[in-house]
Structure 1
Amino acid sequence: MAFGKEEVCAYLDSRGVVYDRVDHEAVFTMEAMDALSLPFANVVVKNLFLRDDKKRNYYLVVMPEDKPANLKALRAALGARPLRFASEEDLQGILGLRGGAVSPFGVLNDTEGKVQVVLDAALRDWPAVGVHPNDNTATLRVPLSDLLALFEDRAVPYRFVATSEASAQ
C-alpha cells in the first residue's frame, strides 16, 4: 500500500498519535510555507532527500526550517561520500513522493529500506515537528517522540547529527 496524505493520517490514527492537521494550497518552497502562517509555524521543518555520489546511500534529512543546508558539513558529520540531491526519479521510486512533498513519512513507502533518516541535533529538544503527510497540500504537527517511535517500529535507521558543529571540508 502506498502511503499518501489520507493513508498517513489513518496510520497515525491507528497508532493513537494525537496530531494537528491543517489543509492548505500546495506549497513548494519554505517561503510559501511561511506565507501560510500556520498556527504551529514555529515547529515546521524542512526535509531534504539526498544521496551519495555512488547512489549507495540515501538520506532523508530533517532540519529546522531556518537553518541553511550545508552539504559539505553534513557529509563530514555523517562520514559519508560526497552528497547530492536525489533525483525526482529516485524521490518517486524510493519514497513515492514528488518534489515539494518530501517528508519523514516518505519512509513508509521505502519498501526496500534504502533510506536513513538524519535529524538535525537541534530538533532533539523540540516537542513536535511540522511536516507534510506525503502531500504538500497539508501539514501536520506531530510529537517528535511519536515520529521517532514510528521509525523504530518500522526499523528505519535514524540518527541526530550536529551539522552546525561539523567542519566543512
Structure 2
Amino acid sequence: MAIGTYNQIMEELTRLNISYEMVDHPAAETTEEADQYIEGHIGVRTKSMFLKDKKKHFYLLIMDDKKRLDFHEFQDLTGAKRVSMAHDHDIKEQLGLVPGIISPFGLMNNSAHNITVLFDKEMLQEPILTFHPNENTHTIFLKTADVLRFVNEQGFEYKIIDL
C-alpha cells in the first residue's frame, strides 16, 4: 500500500493547485492539545472519526470537534447497524494511519475505495477547516471547498449529513 505521507500530501495539494496555511508545532495527541498550538488562527477544528458497522462497512465522519457524535442518530441517518469506532488495525489497514491523526488525507491510502465519507452539514458552512496532515506535528488550514475537492480527486464521493 502506498502510504500518503506528509510530503506526498503536500505534493498532491500542489498538483491540485490547492492553497493552504500550515502551522508546525510539537506533537499533539488530542484536539485540545492541538488547539493550544493554533490559537488565534481562523478555522473549524475538526475531528475525523473512523467507524464501522456490523457488516464491516467503513465510514470516515468529519465533524466539528466540539460536537459529540450520537451513534443512534448516525445510524438513523445512514441506515447503518451497530456502528462503533473502528479498531486500530482497521485504521492502519484502511487508511494507513494510527489513531489520533485520522483525516481525509488518509483516503490517499485506501485503494479499495471501500469507505463512505461523510461530512456534518453545519461545519461545511464555515470557510476554513483544519486537520492533521497525516502527522500530528502540523495543522493544516484549507478552504472547505478545497477539502471537498480533495476527497473527490482521491476517487471518493462524499455525503453530507445533518448531525
Q: Is the 8 A contact 2:43 2:127 kept in 1?
A: no
- Alignment partner, residue 45 of structure 1: 46
Secondary structure of the residue aligned to 1:17 is coil
| 1:38 Cα deviation after fit | 3.5
| 1:124 Cα deviation after fit | 2.3
Secondary structure of the residue aligned to 2:91 is helix
> Which moved further from structure 2: 148-157 or 92-101?
148-157
| 2:98 matches 1:98 | yes
Distance 1:154-1:26 versus aligned 2 partners, 3 A rule? same
1:161 partner letter: I
Q: C-alpha distance in 1, partners of 2:158/2:39?
A: 27
| 1:41 Cα deviation after fit | 5.4
| 1:135 Cα deviation after fit | 1.3
What RMSD, in angstroms, separates the aligned Cα atoms of the two structures? Answer: 1.4
TM-score, L = length of structure 1: 0.90
- Alignment partner, residue 156 of structure 1: 156
| 1:155 Cα deviation after fit | 2.3
| 1:85 Cα deviation after fit | 0.4
Q: Is the 8 A contact 1:28 1:99 kept in 2?
A: no
Q: Is the 8 A contact 1:132 1:139 kept in 2?
A: yes
Identity of aligned residues (%): 28
Q: Which runs of 5+ in 2 are unaligned?
A: none
Q: Which runs of 5+ in 1 are unaligned?
A: 164-169
- Alignment partner, residue 21 of structure 2: 20
Secondary structure of the residue aligned to 1:49 is strand
Q: Is the 8 A contact 2:133 2:139 kept in 1?
A: yes
> Which moved further from structure 2: 152-161 or 38-47?
38-47
> Which moved further from structure 2: 23-32 or 97-106?
23-32
Secondary structure of the residue aligned to 2:145 is helix
Secondary structure of the residue aligned to 1:44 is strand
> Which moved further from structure 2: 36-45 or 119-128?
36-45
